[in-house]
Structure 1
Amino acid sequence: MYDSTSKEFQQKMSYWTKNTPLAAIRSDVDRKDLVENSDVAGGRPAYDTEIAGVIAMLCTTDSAWCTGSTICANGGFKFST
Protein backbone atom coordinates (compact mmCIF):
# COMPACT_ATOMS: atom_id res chain seq x y z
CA MET A 1 0.00 0.00 0.00
CA TYR A 2 2.72 2.52 0.96
CA ASP A 3 4.71 1.90 -2.19
CA SER A 4 1.64 2.84 -4.26
CA THR A 5 1.74 6.39 -2.84
CA SER A 6 3.41 9.17 -4.80
CA LYS A 7 7.13 9.86 -4.58
CA GLU A 8 6.24 13.35 -3.35
CA PHE A 9 4.25 11.89 -0.42
CA GLN A 10 7.02 9.42 0.41
CA GLN A 11 9.59 12.20 0.40
CA LYS A 12 7.43 14.30 2.75
CA MET A 13 7.12 11.30 5.08
CA SER A 14 10.82 10.40 4.88
CA TYR A 15 11.72 12.42 7.99
CA TRP A 16 9.42 10.20 10.06
CA THR A 17 10.59 7.04 8.34
CA LYS A 18 14.24 7.92 9.02
CA ASN A 19 13.31 8.31 12.69
CA THR A 20 12.00 4.72 12.84
CA PRO A 21 14.72 2.15 13.64
CA LEU A 22 13.05 -0.87 12.02
CA ALA A 23 12.48 1.07 8.79
CA ALA A 24 16.17 0.93 7.97
CA ILE A 25 16.64 -0.70 4.58
CA ARG A 26 18.15 -4.19 4.53
CA SER A 27 19.57 -4.62 1.04
CA ASP A 28 20.06 -8.37 1.51
CA VAL A 29 16.45 -8.93 2.71
CA ASP A 30 14.15 -6.25 1.32
CA ARG A 31 12.63 -6.18 -2.13
CA LYS A 32 14.73 -4.55 -4.83
CA ASP A 33 12.18 -1.77 -5.47
CA LEU A 34 12.20 -0.79 -1.78
CA VAL A 35 15.99 -0.74 -1.70
CA GLU A 36 16.13 1.42 -4.83
CA ASN A 37 13.51 3.85 -3.46
CA SER A 38 14.94 4.06 0.07
CA ASP A 39 16.71 7.37 -0.61
CA VAL A 40 13.36 8.99 -1.46
CA ALA A 41 11.24 7.23 1.17
CA GLY A 42 13.80 7.34 3.96
CA GLY A 43 13.67 3.57 4.47
CA ARG A 44 11.05 0.90 4.04
CA PRO A 45 7.43 0.41 5.07
CA ALA A 46 6.44 -2.46 7.34
CA TYR A 47 5.61 -5.80 5.78
CA ASP A 48 2.21 -7.32 6.49
CA THR A 49 3.90 -10.14 8.40
CA GLU A 50 5.46 -7.61 10.78
CA ILE A 51 2.08 -6.06 11.60
CA ALA A 52 0.27 -9.43 11.76
CA GLY A 53 2.01 -10.40 15.01
CA VAL A 54 0.58 -7.36 16.79
CA ILE A 55 -2.90 -8.05 15.43
CA ALA A 56 -2.66 -11.73 16.36
CA MET A 57 -1.69 -10.87 19.94
CA LEU A 58 -4.74 -8.60 20.23
CA CYS A 59 -6.93 -11.56 19.25
CA THR A 60 -5.71 -13.74 22.12
CA THR A 61 -6.27 -13.78 25.86
CA ASP A 62 -2.77 -12.27 26.18
CA SER A 63 -4.38 -8.92 25.34
CA ALA A 64 -6.85 -9.09 28.24
CA TRP A 65 -5.11 -6.21 30.03
CA CYS A 66 -5.28 -3.93 26.97
CA THR A 67 -8.24 -1.74 27.81
CA GLY A 68 -8.82 0.97 25.24
CA SER A 69 -5.15 1.74 24.85
CA THR A 70 -3.57 2.85 21.62
CA ILE A 71 -1.56 -0.08 20.34
CA CYS A 72 1.39 0.95 18.19
CA ALA A 73 3.02 -1.12 15.50
CA ASN A 74 5.40 1.59 14.47
CA GLY A 75 8.81 -0.02 14.09
CA GLY A 76 10.24 1.75 17.13
CA PHE A 77 9.35 5.21 15.88
CA LYS A 78 10.89 7.93 18.05
CA PHE A 79 9.05 11.22 18.52
CA SER A 80 12.31 13.06 19.19
CA THR A 81 15.87 12.68 18.00
Structure 2
Amino acid sequence: MKLIKMRTLSAGPNGVMEPGQAYPVDDKAAAALVDGGFADYAEPPRLEKATRPLEPERAVKPEAVHIGGGWYEYEGKKLRKNDLPKGVL
Protein backbone atom coordinates (compact mmCIF):
# COMPACT_ATOMS: atom_id res chain seq x y z
CA MET A 1 0.00 0.00 0.00
CA LYS A 2 1.19 3.49 -0.91
CA LEU A 3 -0.16 6.87 0.12
CA ILE A 4 -0.86 9.19 -2.80
CA LYS A 5 -2.16 12.75 -3.05
CA MET A 6 -4.49 13.31 -5.98
CA ARG A 7 -3.87 16.12 -8.48
CA THR A 8 -7.11 15.54 -10.39
CA LEU A 9 -10.52 14.04 -9.78
CA SER A 10 -10.76 10.28 -10.18
CA ALA A 11 -14.14 8.58 -10.24
CA GLY A 12 -15.06 5.02 -11.04
CA PRO A 13 -16.75 1.89 -9.75
CA ASN A 14 -14.31 1.77 -6.80
CA GLY A 15 -15.24 5.25 -5.60
CA VAL A 16 -14.21 8.88 -5.94
CA MET A 17 -10.80 10.38 -5.14
CA GLU A 18 -10.86 14.17 -4.94
CA PRO A 19 -7.97 16.52 -5.82
CA GLY A 20 -5.78 17.58 -2.90
CA GLN A 21 -6.77 14.60 -0.74
CA ALA A 22 -4.48 11.73 0.26
CA TYR A 23 -5.58 8.12 -0.26
CA PRO A 24 -3.98 4.74 0.45
CA VAL A 25 -3.94 2.59 -2.70
CA ASP A 26 -2.15 -0.60 -3.72
CA ASP A 27 1.35 -0.32 -5.24
CA LYS A 28 0.24 -1.06 -8.83
CA ALA A 29 -2.55 1.57 -8.82
CA ALA A 30 -0.26 4.12 -7.14
CA ALA A 31 2.42 3.65 -9.80
CA ALA A 32 -0.15 4.01 -12.61
CA LEU A 33 -1.67 7.20 -11.16
CA VAL A 34 1.72 8.82 -10.44
CA ASP A 35 3.19 7.85 -13.84
CA GLY A 36 0.09 9.26 -15.56
CA GLY A 37 0.44 12.58 -13.74
CA PHE A 38 -2.84 12.18 -11.90
CA ALA A 39 -1.28 11.95 -8.43
CA ASP A 40 1.93 12.37 -6.41
CA TYR A 41 3.32 10.19 -3.69
CA ALA A 42 2.34 11.70 -0.33
CA GLU A 43 4.50 11.81 2.75
CA PRO A 44 3.13 9.86 5.69
CA PRO A 45 1.68 12.17 8.34
CA ARG A 46 4.16 13.34 10.97
CA LEU A 47 3.39 12.27 14.48
CA GLU A 48 3.86 14.75 17.28
CA LYS A 49 5.43 13.74 20.54
CA ALA A 50 2.91 13.75 23.36
CA THR A 51 3.57 16.20 26.15
CA ARG A 52 2.15 16.47 29.61
CA PRO A 53 -0.23 19.40 30.04
CA LEU A 54 1.01 22.28 32.15
CA GLU A 55 -0.17 22.38 35.72
CA PRO A 56 -2.83 25.04 36.20
CA GLU A 57 -1.93 28.03 38.33
CA ARG A 58 -3.65 28.35 41.64
CA ALA A 59 -6.86 30.33 41.37
CA VAL A 60 -6.39 31.73 44.86
CA LYS A 61 -2.91 32.61 46.03
CA PRO A 62 -2.13 31.39 49.53
CA GLU A 63 -1.70 34.09 52.12
CA ALA A 64 0.58 34.19 55.10
CA VAL A 65 -1.16 34.39 58.46
CA HIS A 66 0.44 36.34 61.31
CA ILE A 67 0.70 34.07 64.34
CA GLY A 68 2.46 36.55 66.65
CA GLY A 69 5.95 37.49 67.70
CA GLY A 70 7.03 38.37 64.15
CA TRP A 71 6.21 34.88 62.86
CA TYR A 72 3.92 34.00 59.96
CA GLU A 73 2.41 30.69 58.92
CA TYR A 74 2.67 30.06 55.18
CA GLU A 75 1.83 26.73 53.51
CA GLY A 76 2.19 24.86 56.79
CA LYS A 77 5.59 26.41 57.65
CA LYS A 78 6.53 29.02 60.26
CA LEU A 79 8.53 31.81 58.67
CA ARG A 80 9.77 35.30 59.58
CA LYS A 81 8.45 38.23 57.53
CA ASN A 82 11.77 38.59 55.62
CA ASP A 83 11.71 34.89 54.66
CA LEU A 84 8.27 35.02 53.03
CA PRO A 85 8.05 35.01 49.22
CA LYS A 86 7.22 38.35 47.60
CA GLY A 87 3.55 39.16 47.16
CA VAL A 88 2.31 36.87 49.94
CA LEU A 89 1.33 39.60 52.40
- Give me the TM-score of the superposition, normalised by structure 1: 0.21
Larger proportion of helix: 1
Higher relative contact order (CA 8 A, sep 6+): 1
- Give me the TM-score of the superposition, normalised by structure 2: 0.20
